[in-house]
Amino acid sequence: MKNILLRIALFGFLLAGLSAFSSTGQLNAQTTTNQDLYSLPTGTFVSTPLARQLLDTKIVTLKNQLLGLTEGTAAYQEVWVQYNYYSTILTSVNDGKTVQQSIVDGLRAVSVDAYALPRTTILQYRTEAINLLKA
Q: What is the pLDDT of residues 46-99, one digit of tens each?
A: 999 999 999 999 999 999 999 999 998 989 999 999 999 999 999 999 999 999
Domain shared by 103 and 76, yes or no: yes
Tell me: do 22 and 63 sit in the same domain: no
Looking at the structure, tell me whether residues 69 and 86 fall in a common domain: yes
Gyration radius of the chain over CA positions: 22
pTM of the full predicted structure?
0.71
Residues 95 and 32 both lie in one domain: no
- State the pLDDT at residue 36: 74
Res 121: pLDDT: 87
The Cα–Cα gap between 79 and 111 comes to 15
* Angstrom distance (rounded) from CA 113 to CA 107: 12
**pLDDT at residue 37 tops 60:** yes
Provide the domain limits for residue 129.
42-133
- Residues 105-118 have pLDDT tens digits of 999 888 877 777 88
Judge if 76 and 23 occupy the same domain: no
* Res. 17 pLDDT band, cuts 50 70 90: very low
Q: pLDDT value at position 120?
A: 87
Taking every pair of C-alpha atoms in the chain, what is the biggest distance, in angstroms? Answer: 80
